[in-house]
Amino acid sequence: MNTLTVSVVTPDGPVLEDSFEMVSCKAESGELGIMPGHIPLVAPLAISAVRLKGNKSSEMIAVSGGFVEVRSDKVTILAQSAETPSDIDPERARKAKERAERRKNSKQDDVDLVRAELALKRALNRLDLIEKS
Protein backbone atom coordinates (compact mmCIF):
# COMPACT_ATOMS: atom_id res chain seq x y z
CA MET A 1 0.00 0.00 0.00
CA ASN A 2 1.17 3.54 -0.71
CA THR A 3 2.20 5.73 2.18
CA LEU A 4 2.38 9.40 3.06
CA THR A 5 5.42 11.08 4.51
CA VAL A 6 4.17 12.86 7.61
CA SER A 7 6.05 15.69 9.31
CA VAL A 8 4.86 17.27 12.54
CA VAL A 9 6.75 20.46 13.32
CA THR A 10 6.46 23.00 16.15
CA PRO A 11 8.34 26.25 16.81
CA ASP A 12 10.62 24.15 19.06
CA GLY A 13 11.51 21.84 16.17
CA PRO A 14 10.38 18.58 14.57
CA VAL A 15 8.25 16.20 16.65
CA LEU A 16 7.75 13.40 14.13
CA GLU A 17 8.85 12.42 10.62
CA ASP A 18 7.66 9.03 9.39
CA SER A 19 5.55 7.22 6.80
CA PHE A 20 1.89 6.35 7.39
CA GLU A 21 -1.01 5.03 5.34
CA MET A 22 -3.59 7.48 6.69
CA VAL A 23 -3.79 10.69 8.70
CA SER A 24 -6.97 11.74 10.53
CA CYS A 25 -7.11 15.23 11.96
CA LYS A 26 -9.67 17.82 12.93
CA ALA A 27 -9.58 21.00 10.89
CA GLU A 28 -11.62 23.96 12.06
CA SER A 29 -14.09 23.11 9.28
CA GLY A 30 -14.43 19.45 10.31
CA GLU A 31 -12.74 16.05 10.39
CA LEU A 32 -10.23 15.20 7.63
CA GLY A 33 -9.13 11.74 6.53
CA ILE A 34 -6.02 11.94 4.36
CA MET A 35 -4.62 9.08 2.30
CA PRO A 36 -1.98 8.99 -0.47
CA GLY A 37 -3.18 10.86 -3.57
CA HIS A 38 -5.34 13.31 -1.59
CA ILE A 39 -5.96 16.63 -3.29
CA PRO A 40 -3.63 19.42 -2.14
CA LEU A 41 -5.00 21.62 0.62
CA VAL A 42 -4.07 23.84 3.52
CA ALA A 43 -6.41 24.03 6.50
CA PRO A 44 -6.30 25.48 10.03
CA LEU A 45 -6.32 22.80 12.73
CA ALA A 46 -8.47 22.72 15.83
CA ILE A 47 -7.06 21.77 19.23
CA SER A 48 -7.39 18.00 18.85
CA ALA A 49 -5.66 14.66 18.43
CA VAL A 50 -4.06 13.70 15.12
CA ARG A 51 -4.33 9.98 14.41
CA LEU A 52 -1.64 8.39 12.26
CA LYS A 53 -2.27 4.90 10.92
CA GLY A 54 0.62 2.82 9.69
CA ASN A 55 1.04 -0.66 8.30
CA LYS A 56 1.21 -2.38 11.69
CA SER A 57 0.64 0.39 14.19
CA SER A 58 -1.05 3.66 14.88
CA GLU A 59 0.03 6.74 16.78
CA MET A 60 -1.71 9.75 18.21
CA ILE A 61 -0.38 13.25 18.77
CA ALA A 62 -2.11 16.07 20.66
CA VAL A 63 -1.86 19.32 18.69
CA SER A 64 -2.76 22.78 19.92
CA GLY A 65 -3.93 24.40 16.74
CA GLY A 66 -1.79 25.21 13.74
CA PHE A 67 -2.14 24.19 10.10
CA VAL A 68 -2.12 21.04 8.01
CA GLU A 69 -0.65 21.16 4.50
CA VAL A 70 -1.47 18.22 2.24
CA ARG A 71 0.26 17.23 -0.98
CA SER A 72 -0.33 13.98 -2.86
CA ASP A 73 2.41 12.12 -0.96
CA LYS A 74 3.24 14.38 2.00
CA VAL A 75 1.39 15.82 5.00
CA THR A 76 3.00 18.59 7.02
CA ILE A 77 1.47 19.64 10.32
CA LEU A 78 2.70 22.98 11.61
CA ALA A 79 1.45 23.12 15.18
CA GLN A 80 1.87 25.58 18.02
CA SER A 81 2.59 22.53 20.18
CA ALA A 82 2.48 18.78 19.57
CA GLU A 83 2.82 16.02 22.16
CA THR A 84 2.82 12.25 22.02
CA PRO A 85 1.13 10.38 24.90
CA SER A 86 4.55 9.63 26.42
CA ASP A 87 5.38 13.38 26.40
CA ILE A 88 2.31 14.24 28.46
CA ASP A 89 2.53 14.39 32.25
CA PRO A 90 -1.00 13.34 33.39
CA GLU A 91 -0.76 15.17 36.73
CA ARG A 92 0.38 18.39 35.06
CA ALA A 93 -2.47 18.11 32.52
CA ARG A 94 -5.03 17.58 35.33
CA LYS A 95 -3.70 20.63 37.21
CA ALA A 96 -3.82 22.73 34.02
CA LYS A 97 -7.44 21.63 33.51
CA GLU A 98 -8.36 22.62 37.08
CA ARG A 99 -6.62 26.02 36.75
CA ALA A 100 -8.37 26.72 33.44
CA GLU A 101 -11.76 25.75 34.92
CA ARG A 102 -11.19 28.07 37.89
CA ARG A 103 -10.21 30.97 35.60
CA LYS A 104 -13.16 30.30 33.31
CA ASN A 105 -15.60 30.28 36.23
CA SER A 106 -14.13 33.38 37.91
CA LYS A 107 -16.08 35.73 35.57
CA GLN A 108 -13.15 38.05 34.90
CA ASP A 109 -12.79 40.13 31.73
CA ASP A 110 -13.36 38.65 28.26
CA VAL A 111 -9.68 38.27 27.36
CA ASP A 112 -9.08 36.01 30.37
CA LEU A 113 -12.19 34.01 29.50
CA VAL A 114 -10.97 33.27 25.96
CA ARG A 115 -7.51 32.31 27.25
CA ALA A 116 -9.06 30.10 29.93
CA GLU A 117 -11.28 28.34 27.36
CA LEU A 118 -8.27 27.66 25.11
CA ALA A 119 -6.22 26.39 28.07
CA LEU A 120 -9.10 24.13 29.07
CA LYS A 121 -9.39 22.72 25.52
CA ARG A 122 -5.64 22.01 25.45
CA ALA A 123 -5.74 20.27 28.84
CA LEU A 124 -8.79 18.19 27.91
CA ASN A 125 -7.15 17.22 24.61
CA ARG A 126 -4.03 16.00 26.48
CA LEU A 127 -6.08 14.04 29.02
CA ASP A 128 -8.21 12.50 26.26
CA LEU A 129 -5.09 11.42 24.36
CA ILE A 130 -3.66 9.74 27.48
CA GLU A 131 -6.92 7.83 28.03
CA LYS A 132 -7.03 6.60 24.43
CA SER A 133 -3.43 5.41 24.33
| Surface-to-core class of residue 33, CB atoms within 10 Å of its CB (0-12 exposed, 13-18 middle, 19+ buried) | exposed
Q: What angle do CA 5, 21, 123 make, to 5 degrees?
A: 80
Residue 69 contacts residue 54 (beta carbons within 8 Å): no
Residue 103 CA, distance from chain mean position = 23
For the chain (133 residues), the mean pLDDT of every run of 10, in chain order, is: 91 93 94 94 95 89 94 94 89 89 74 79 86 78
pLDDT at 123: 87
pLDDT at 107: 67
Q: In a 3-state reduction of DSSP, which class is residue 82?
A: strand
pLDDT at 34: 96
What is the spatial distance between Cα 104 and Cα 1, in angstroms, rounded to a whole number?
47
Residue 120 contacts residue 76 (beta carbons within 8 Å): no
What is the spatial distance between Cα 87 and Cα 127, in angstroms, rounded to a whole number?
12
Same fold: 4-85 with 89-132 = no
Q: What is the pTM of this model?
A: 0.82
- What's the fold here for domain 4-85? ATP Synthase; domain 1 (2.60.15)
- What's the fold here for domain 89-132? 1.20.5
Residue 35 contacts residue 19 (beta carbons within 8 Å): no
pLDDT at 87: 87
pLDDT at 108: 65
Q: Where are the domains of the chain?
A: 4-85, 89-132
Tens of pLDDT, residue by residue over 57-68, are: 889 999 998 999
